[in-house]
Amino acid sequence: MNGYLEAQEQWDQRLDQELTWSWGHRPRREAMAPPPPLAASTPLLHGEFGSYPDPSLRLALTLTPQALHIQKLRPKPEARPRGGLVLLTEVSGCCTLRSCNPSDSAAYFCIYTYPRGRRKGRRKATHTFQADGAATYEENRAEAQRWATALTCLLRGLPLPGDGEITSQLLPRPPRLLLLVNPFGGRGLAWQWCKNHVLPMISEAGLSFNLIQTERQNHARELVQGLSLSEWDGIVTLSGDGLLYEVLNGLLDRPDWEEAVKTPVGILPCGSGNALAGAVNQHGGFKPALGIDLLLNCSLLLCRGGSHPLDLLSVTLASGSRCFSFLSVAWGFVSDVDIQSERFRALGSARFTLSTVLGLATLHTYRGRLSYLPATMEPASPTPAHGLSRAKSELTLAPAPAPPVAHSPLHRSVSDLPLPLPQPALMSPGSPEPLPILSLNGGGPELAGDWGGAGDAPLSPDPLVPSPPGSPKAALLSPIIEGAPETPASSEFLPPTPDGDPVAVSPGGPLDHLLPPLGSPLPPGWVTLEGDFVLMLAISPSHLGADLVAAPHARFDDGLVHLCWVRGGISRTALLRLFLAMEHGSHFSLGCPQLCYAPARAFRLEPLTPRGVLTVDGEQVEYGPLQAQVHPGLGTLLTGPPGHSGREP
């Protein structure tokens, strides 16, 4: 066994990291006192187990901070067993079980994994081990629970006692998540993906949830305005980027926005535009992925918990209204492609490819003025007395290397929590069938499938932590009421878009201390460029799409907005080459003279062409001058533990 562990040490060292993340709201920095990090190859537990359903197969298990090592002992020992390494990055959760046979004194320990197959796609695999080293069930149960508790602590970033006993008392209550799913996301597969992939994984991880399907535009915004946020550990959207845009702006629309915006939010990619999920996937150390693989990667990260500060961009539009962006502000080619692709929504993510080809065929240039406060400049107090600062020449920079109104009661709600609704949930004609309540610790349905016999499954769930009084299983949560309890007087909506749908904006949120009123002269220290643009993109995270790395060096909390623009005069071939290189984040290395970049803390865009399209996080907004400022770490994003590039084998 020691030889096998030594053979894995080189790989484990690449996975070494601090296990300090945990569920819940972001802790205060001064209050954090994480324990010293454990080496990836440090053995934490070691023991002998039987294999289920064949107990004659004896296994030696060794748990380290990064993996579970499995070695076959009998009937034929293996020095280097195939499949003998289970990486914790591929584990969604675990549970303990007991036999339905009263005379069976063994206890069982089950883990759920999602390893990559030969075709690089993830497939679910369940490992069940039999703890039978003691004479009584109580002793075997204590051993199985010791392993399950230790593994759960590692998955959730909870500290393990140095010399103390590992018991289920180390585990806090299960985190409570509100899941919001857009059933029409992507190609209309969001509900199916949620039912087949997300809910089973969340159940396996032991997370409690309430799931609500959104029914219209701005539905999620109205829902979060009426939430009792203290009862939830996170709000997770299952759709594209647009649903999270609604949630964040809804939180900032509340009278208590300063506390509300601290609520951790997460995203599971079930739409066609999955830019933030692509950035979360990269932050977690996974290789680029699309479709189901991207969803499974992000679900694994969500199951492990952990949050990260998220910069938000306050965008003031021509009418004076304001909205908040977590992703991008786009003008020109990018926004044209985004909005035109709506006609091809049935194609899923392929709609962007088709719209890009059409956009290249009818390439336009737009006259405009771009001003920005460089990231290296100290902020000056914006006063109208200062004249407009103009740069003598345009800068071409390469990025540094990476370090409401009340509506009908809620419909189509699924939960493993006893969450009361304003009235009994209704089923609309043609809506999906309601889901069965899933076991809190998973295991039951899966083990029934593992067992090939007739009749009832021989194992039943044996929860690690029984539900105490006041737990989610015993206490009712507050009803969810749509709309804010108290609507601020300044709440408003933007003028209708060309499609006729109003785009909601946020009147709340912090003040933009770096920006003078829109239309007033800018203070000293700003750089201003005027000319013909093919596109202008202001982006916060690294990804513009799940497979488009527009700002490869960007971080969720770098306090910057990354400005990328392409000047007029670029050929269609060169522009296409830029977007192809963007799939790998290598477009800045092409040396394209029309491609420019600048990190900034605030910017102002003044289109001088009378017609055009502006988008904020992929949503069309009113056309005209706008300005924006970064608010560092204003939000909190559920990202899972940080990873390292190339951590996947």
Q: What pLDDT was estimated at residue 579?
A: 87
Q: What pLDDT was estimated at residue 482?
A: 61
CB neighbours (10 Å) of residue 649? Answer: 11
Q: Which of 223, 264, 245, 258 is closest to 323 using CA atoms?
A: 245
Is 577 buried (19+), middle (13-18) or exposed (0-12) by CB count in 10 A?
middle
The DSSP H or E segment spanning 340 is helix 333-340
Q: What pLDDT was estimated at residue 433?
A: 35
Q: What pLDDT was estimated at residue 415?
A: 57
Q: What pLDDT was estimated at residue 335?
A: 80
CA distance 629 to 22: 30
CA distance 39 to 301: 21
Q: What pLDDT was estimated at residue 648?
A: 59
Q: What pLDDT was estimated at residue 488?
A: 38
Beta strands in 75-207 (DSSP E): 85-87, 91-99, 107-113, 125-131, 176-181
Q: What is the mean pLDDT of each run of 10 residues along the chain (649 residues)?
A: 40 37 47 50 89 88 93 74 81 92 91 87 92 93 94 91 83 92 80 92 93 91 92 93 94 94 95 89 93 94 94 96 95 81 58 65 87 74 33 40 39 48 30 31 37 50 56 49 46 44 61 94 95 94 92 94 94 89 92 94 96 90 96 96 64
Are the C-beta atoms of residues 595 and 553 closer than 8 Å to each other? no
Q: Which of 61, 67, 72 is closest to 39 using CA atoms?
A: 67
Instruction: Please give the DSSP secondary-structure letter assigned to residue 196.
Output: I
Structure tokens given for 300: 């694994």
* 185, 244, 284, 304, 494 from 241: Cα distances, Å: 10, 6, 18, 22, 19
Torsion 238-243-246-249 (CA) sign: positive
CA distance 613 to 622: 8
Structure tokens given for 151: 């593994």
Q: What pLDDT was estimated at residue 234?
A: 95
> Angle 114-119-576 (CA atoms, 0-180°, nearest 5)?
110
Q: What pLDDT was estimated at residue 348?
A: 56
Question: Under 8 Å CB-to-CB from 416, ≥6 apart: which residues?
Answer: 203, 208, 209, 210, 437, 438, 440
Positions marked catalytic: 241
Enter the pTM of the model. 0.79
Q: What pLDDT was estimated at residue 167?
A: 85
Q: Determine the 3-state secondary structure of 597 from DSSP.
A: strand
CA distance 366 to 623: 13
Helical segments of 179-240, H only:
190-193, 199-204, 219-225
Q: Determine the 3-state secondary structure of 478 from DSSP.
A: coil
